[in-house]
Amino acid sequence: MTFTGDEPFELKKCIANGNFSKVYLAVKADSTQVACKVVKTAKMQREKVLREIFILNKLKGCKGIIAFDCYWEEPEQICILMQLCNRGTLAQRLKPKVGEAKVPITSEERIDYLRQMCDILMVLKNNRIVHCDIKLENILINENNELLLADFGLADIAGRMEKTSGSPNYMAPEFFDYTAPHPSYSTDLWAVGVTFFFLCTGGPPFSTRGTPLSLMIANVKARLWGSIEQRKVLSSKELTIFESIFTEHVDRCTPEQVKELCDDT
């Protein structure tokens, strides 16, 4: 299948499938491999897709953000061309596909990933962007083991969002007890904390397999994170980091402070 945006390219195969879109491996005429996100506008409002494109363009060239190339509209869909990361996502790094070898994530590598995620949060804040859907599946890894944040479908300008959104496992308590009026830089940091917890323990901090959503939300609101077994595998540094993130939003630390904790010996 060949499409024409700024230049012709061919879609090869679907590499990711979401509720409102699919991402394809695509090859340009000069053999360069890129990713093409195809969003069905019948399933997702056109204005929301254009907002994502606006944000991607605003963040173009920023370190730690997936590189935006171009976009164009077709009947009932919008195509977004962007950087391809062949090493996949943090979710795939944590749990490889069937047949792929699992390479353990060392404690040093986890801390480095956390530093990088904090740097990304600082880039977002400098550009007044709140992502609203930071999670393992939306963080890509390039060939240099550098993290790149992707999927800005729920993102918006800070202070402009009125509705809570995101993936339940990653949502901060203020989303559930209505103590904060809007998603914020602080709620993105909470999601980074949950992502880091997955990397450290292999599971979520506020639920286990089969936990009802209502109980998970109660645990989040009460800040009851980590089972006894999960806490046993955490280092003292990691415990301190989680204690600084999994708090009320008015007491939550900043990305800069988390980076300082990462560097503490």
**What is the predicted pLDDT for the residue at 254?**
96
Name the β-bridge partners of 70. Answer: 81
Rounded Cα–Cα distance for residues 66 and 84 (Å): 8
Q: What share of the chain is helix, strand, coil (3-state, %, to 5)?
A: 35, 20, 40
Mean of per-residue pLDDT scores for the chain: 89
Residue 44's pLDDT band, with cuts at 50, 70 and 90, is low
Average pLDDT over residues 118-130: 97
Q: Is the per-residue pLDDT at 229 higher than 80?
A: yes
Rounded Cα–Cα distance for residues 49 and 45 (Å): 7
- Which among 82, 114, 149 is the end of a domain? 82
pLDDT tens digits, one per residue of 165-210: 778 899 999 888 776 667 889 999 999 999 999 999 999 999 888 8
Percent of the chain with pLDDT over 70: 91
Number of domains in the chain: 2
**What is the predicted pLDDT for the residue at 2?**
47
Rounded Cα–Cα distance for residues 237 and 69 (Å): 39
Rounded Cα–Cα distance for residues 55 and 177 (Å): 29
pLDDT tens digits, one per residue of 139-153: 999 999 999 999 998
CB-based contact 25:13 (threshold 8 Å): yes
Lowest-confidence segment of 4-8, 42-46, 220-224, 247-251 by average pLDDT: 4-8
Give the position of tokens 């949502």. 171
Of the candidates 42, 49, 2, which has an alpha carbon nearest to the alpha carbon of residue 24?
2
Looking up residue 64, the CATH number of its domain turns out to be: 3.30.200.20
* Domain of 199, in residue numbers: 90-263
Looking up residue 220, the CATH number of its domain turns out to be: 1.10.510.10
Average pLDDT over residues 109-114: 97
**99 and 227 co-located in one domain:** yes
**229 and 104 co-located in one domain:** yes
**137 compared with 6, residue with greater pLDDT:** 137
CB-based contact 256:122 (threshold 8 Å): yes
- Which among 62, 82, 102 is the end of a domain? 82
